[in-house]
Structure 1
């Protein structure tokens, strides 16, 4: 169950970063995550579900949320903002122009 708790905490952390709400317990995604965790805790031994189903499902959601956050950051950094100057483009990719001091 310890691995499941780590996944749940990571999921809640990603949701917190994505939503910026003051009360995280009021968030519908957090309530769903906790509800699913409680359902799997009660039924994992009784109904012979896959033992690692909650962990597997949680890691999938975590990967999606993490990738979505990284995509938004990359899109914000590199999205087309119209024409850029040569200096802005060089700074974006990490190059220096020949007349720049080293």
Structure 2
């Protein structure tokens, strides 16, 4: 019984973290939004399904953690791309950054 309660607690924590991540990415993600309602409905439906049908142990929790990892990674990627965007540098600009000078071209 205690094991089931612990599993339920970790699943709830995972869902809470997913919701927090989605709020960081989408400011319109609120308890009134359709996405929020869908997520909570799926969480409730999964609790019933897990009890009725013999899914692999912790299957839904594993999927939720995988989804959490995906949205966290996507958010971090977007943050890094925004931070470091600016286009590529030319060979001359790159050489100057490291203190080198390219030889003069003779046409």
Shorter-chain TM-score range: 0.7 to 0.9
State TM-score, norm by structure 2: 0.69
Unaligned runs of 5+ in 2: 1-7, 100-107
Unaligned runs of 5+ in 1: 91-96, 98-102
Aligned residue in 2 for 1:2: 9
State TM-score, norm by structure 1: 0.72
Counterparts in 2 of 1:35-54, with a 5 A limit? 35-54=41-60
Instruction: Output the CA distance in 2 between the equivalents of 1:50 and 1:39.
Output: 16
Deviation readout 1:35-80 (Å, 9 max, x if unpaired):
1111111121211122312211111110111011101111011112
Query: Where do 4+ consecutive residues of structure 1 move more than 3 Å?
Result: 81-84
Who wins on radius of gyration, i.e. which is larger?
Answer: 2
Between 46-55 and 68-77, the greater mean CA deviation after superposition: 46-55
Aligned residue in 1 for 2:21: 14
